[in-house]
Amino acid sequence: MSELKVSVSGVRGIWGDSLTLESLMDYTVAFGEYIRRRGGKTVLIGRDARPTGAMITAYTASILNAMGIDVTDCGIVPTPTVLYGVRKHGYDGGLIITASHNPVEWNALKYVKAGGVFTGEKDIAEIKGYLGIREGAETMYDGIGKYAVDNSILASHVRAVADYLDAGKIIAKKYKVLVDPVNSAGGESSRLLLEALGCGYKIINGEINGRFERGTEPTPENLRHMEKAVRGFSADIGFATDPDADRLVVVDEKGCVLSEEMTLALGVESVLSDPATVKGDVVVNMSTSRMAEDIAERYGVRAYRSKVGEANVVEGIEEHHALIGG
């Protein structure tokens, strides 16, 4: 039997092995208690497209409802969309059903706290402290939480991204873009965004069926098909994501698949080189290359290192009042 992995990146395991109905019950009740201890009443839930996702969503939503917590299901969406939705719409927390770049047999719970940020190390320690409190966790019949569906949050997130960008300049360029969202959460969001930006586009592996026709990680080895596809479509650029669309790899117009390390470096360069942006510091994790640090030095700002994990990077951004991180 494999080991259930619990960290700031979530509660991850192989379905039917380390991730079971029992472990899901324990860790969902513990998260519900974490929400209730803060006076919380509402949780936003979203997922990627892997086959166990719908079942786990229904199961965890029912557990939270039984604890008196209202749950809104925003469907198959990128992980950042749940973070956006929690922050934008004022939910008391969020739950993302995704094992991110792990293979299809894996799934996980990723916890989000009020404000739309992942739970950090202290939060995870507190949540683990609530394990085993099933007895008495449920409310009385007249206090059960409500379940609702809201399919508008993805479109709202896409509009917010398009509004942030200089859409007029992008529309004028009439770019051609090739995207591989690996049959999962990045498919619909890519379509909506590219249409909002006036781009011609082609999506491969775009059927949202959770089969992950190529490897789940957007590595150069898994994206060899993009080399020919970008050139065949005469695309100006290509993008590939992992199943929950929080990892992005860029393919240039010649079909060269860039290292995932380049994505963050390009983002840092873009932000710091913008004359309209007030310069600020950068936060990267301990496993990231020196590229972001070199760029930061060139623009006269500092680069800080955090522990690995999205939550740790966000905490570093908040601690150092940084402008960008990853």
Residues assigned a catalytic role: 100
Helix ranges (DSSP H) in 90-223: 121-129, 153-164, 167-173, 186-196
| 3-class secondary structure, 212 | coil
Structure tokens at 200: 């011609």
Length of the chain: 326
Intra-chain end-to-end CA distance of the chain, in Å: 33
- Cα 280 to Cα 110: distance, rounded to the nearest angstrom: 29
Q: In whole angstroms, give the CA distance from residue 119 to residue 125.
A: 10
Only one residue has tokens 């059927």, namely 207
Do 84 and 118 touch, CB atoms closer than 8 A? no
Residue 255: half-sphere exposure toward Cβ, Cα within 13 Å: 11
Residue 213's contacts (CB-CB under 8 Å, 6 or more residues apart) are 182, 183, 205
Q: How far is CA 211 from CA 78, 80, 144, 214, in A?
A: 17, 21, 35, 9
Beta partners for residue 147, in sequence order:
71
